[in-house]
Amino acid sequence: MSPGLFTFGETMGLVAADGIGPLGHAKSFSFGIGGAESNVAIGVARLGGEATWLGRVGPDATGALIASRIAAAGVRTLAVTDESFTGLMVRHRRSGEFAQVDYHRAGSAGSRLSPADVPAHELQDASIVHVTGITPALSGTARAAVFQSVETARAAGVAVSVDVNFRAKLWSRFDAAPVLRDLVSRADIVFASPEEAELFVDPGDVAANLAELGPAEVIVKDGGRGCSALIEGVRLSKAALSVTVVDPVGAGDAFVAGYLADRLAGAAPEERLTTAIATGAFAVTVPGDCEGAPTRDDLAALIGDDVRR
């Protein structure tokens, strides 16, 4: 296998109410999987890149489903079986504009990730190591796994990618801010929304303020307004595409996958942003966290043949 993306974190079972409205009025539910890191790995694989995902899962049907689904998507899957349960999230759309997610993950298998779970050679042999700000919020051992892995990758000259991905249901802004700032300062590539970035840098020129912490590639995800970036000192921006939104969940992960897949393919920064915008746009047209991850042909149908590589 050629070097590609290596990522790790918690993937959970996803119980999703079908339709729109209060959870108590839902008539049917679907069951799938969801996790920021595995979403990115699946997105990269769908776009033709090599990707590996590692995580802990429980000795239950949900854990087995997670491992099989990620592997079936073309991702090299390193699932460590833990004696604890596999985490779950329950999601419903209270209205056409807002989705609500409840987590059931305290003490889960995924939260028990530790530095010993992440082999040094996997980090050293990758082209990009991708982590998120979700994993450090899960437990002390998970946080240690993230920081140790980042340092191992950096020592080997491997690019480190960080998606800030602040989750208010996992930790407070006060607790998160110094940890996320420290993590971003160790990254080569960082993704954040303006609101996430302002947890630990001054508002205003968010991209420049993030770049001052150290990352050479800063990408600010701004939803329906598109994105802006400061990459190796060059400012770039892309407008969002106009699409019919079916399910907004997973758009940010799809965006990250598009950018990293193009980076792995050797594309120029502007091309990476074009693909990222298109991948995020395509994802919201399909229900589910990762089910809508597009192929290159899907993106070509959306915006043209320039995304075929």
Select which of 117, 253, 262, 298 is catalytic: 253
- Residue 176's nearest CA partner among 194, 160, 198, 191 is 198
Has 253 been annotated as catalytic? yes
DSSP letters for the chain: ----EEEE---EEEEEEEEES-GGG---EEEEEE-HHHHHHHHHHHTT--EEEEEEE-SSHHHHHHHHHHHHTT-EEEEEE-SSPPPEEEEEESSSS-EEEEEE-TT-TGGG--GGGS-HHHHHH-SEEEEESSGGGT-HHHHHHHHHHHHHHHHTT-EEEEE----TTTS-HHHHHHHHHHHHHT-SEEEE-HHHHTTTS-SSSHHHHHHTTS-SEEEEE-GGG-EEEEETTEEEEEPPP----S--TTHHHHHHHHHHHHHHTT--HHHHHHHHHHHHHHHTTSSSSSTT---HHHHHHHH-GGG--
Pair 103, 169: CB distance under 8 Å? yes
Pair 229, 269: CB distance under 8 Å? yes
- Residue 195's nearest CA partner among 210, 212, 217, 214 is 210
Overall residue count recorded for the chain in this entry: 309
Pair 29, 21: CB distance under 8 Å? no
Tokens standing for 308?
A: 């075929």
Catalytic residue IDs:
253
